[in-house]
Amino acid sequence: MAESVITDALRALIGVDTDERVAEVTTTGCRLFARAVGHTDLVYYDEGAARARGYRSVIAPPGYLGTPIYAPGAADTPAVPGPPNSPYPRILNGGTTYEYFDTLVAGDVVTSRRRITGFQEREGSIGPMLLTTSETTFTRQDGTVVAKMYATAINY
């Protein structure tokens, strides 16, 4: 049997929060995302329609948790990076699910922190794979946790 690629260094990453990422929920972002995925409810497009239904502004459609703030010259890290020093150079999304606790609206600022929850090795039809599971928590500017994302990344 081959030596495990899940090293002590990788195991030490389990449960550790990554650096905070900041994203803005904008009216344009909500509208573009809603249009791209085919939502037709006016609460995703029209502030008056959203307010009439009790929201503070245009609401963010499911799956849109803001647009990361870009700063020229700052490190640009991927949302779901593979584990460091993986012997497998390719990465594939093995599945993503969301759990929502509150609604985001245009004008909200969201911070997120990702935590690796585990590693698993598998043999696939194309060879060995390393699966990395993670949980990302999204918090609105008022301190309210608005969503969690559970993801699996496959390195092969």
Q: Is pLDDT at 132 greater than 80 in this prediction? A: yes
Contact 105, 126 (CB under 8 A): no
What does the pLDDT read at residue 102?
97
Q: For the segment 74-126, what is each residue's pLDDT rounded down to a tens digit?
A: 776 555 556 777 889 899 999 999 999 999 999 999 999 999 999 999 998 98
Of 7-11, 138-142, 143-147, the poorest mean pLDDT is in: 7-11
Separation between Cα atoms, residue 146 and residue 68, nearest integer Å: 16
**What are the domain boundaries of the chain?**
1-24+81-156, 26-64
Q: Is pLDDT at 1 greater than 60 in this prediction? A: no
**DSSP string of 69-132?**
PP-TTS----SSPPPTT-S---EEEEEEEEEESS--BTT-EEEEEEEEEEEEEEEETTEEEEEE
Residue 119's closest CA among 2, 12, 1? 12
Separation between Cα atoms, residue 61 and residue 101, nearest integer Å: 14
Amino acid present at 64: Y
Q: For the segment 6-59, what is each residue's pLDDT rounded down to a tens digit?
A: 999 999 999 999 889 999 999 999 999 999 999 999 999 999 999 999 999 999
The one-character DSSP state at 14 is B
Structure tokens at 151: 């993801």
Q: Is 79 left (phi over 0), alpha (psi -120 to 50) or beta?
A: alpha
What does the pLDDT read at residue 84?
74
Q: Is pLDDT at 71 greater than 90 in this prediction? A: no
What does the pLDDT read at residue 80?
53
Return the number of other C-beta atoms located less than 10 Å from residue 131's C-beta: 18
What does the pLDDT read at residue 24?
98
Tell me which CATH code domain 1-24+81-156 carries.
3.10.129.10
What does the pLDDT read at residue 79?
53
| Interstrand relation of 91-100 and 21-24 (parallel, antiparallel or unpaired) | unpaired
Separation between Cα atoms, residue 123 and residue 73, nearest integer Å: 39
